Amino acid sequence: QVQLVESGGGVVQPGRSLRLSCAASGFTFSGYAMHWVRQAPGKGLEWVAIISYDGTYIYHADSVKGRFTISRDNSKNTLYLQMSSLRTEDTAVYSCAREQWRALDIWGQGTMVTVSS
């Protein structure tokens, strides 16, 4: 079935780096733009980044620009989020999502990132 599974979350100190992965299955990964969205504990949804189906268009939210980088490997059906210079306010559940009809139709369950000293 169509599925997205995130991994790579954990507890990290401020200023350190972390790389998240999102493994896609059940659909033609290379045919879809993909997004990262995060949700801080008890808060709403915050969009993080988008990458086009072929990786030629990339856009990051201002809150993470210059610190986070979205990428993909279509040969491995995997989406990535490289996070550096992490801050306590980056603490959140990070989810990947597939774009269709200018909406996010398939979501992973998310991976928790906790930035704390």
Which of 10, 14, 20, 22 is closest to 78 using CA atoms?
A: 22
> Tokens representing 19?
């790389």
Are 37 and 45 spatial neighbours (Cβ–Cβ below 8 Å)? yes
Among residues 18, 35, 78, 83, the one that binds another protein under rule CB under 8 A? 35
Interface residue with another protein among 14, 59, 88, 116 (CB under 8 A) is 59
Shortest spacing between CB 4 and another protein, in angstroms: 9
Tell the smallest beta-carbon distance from residue 78 to another protein (Å).
18
Distance CA 29, CA 18 (A): 23
In the stretch 71-110, what mask flags binding to another protein with x, by CB under 8 A?
A: ------------------------x---xxxxxxx-xxxx
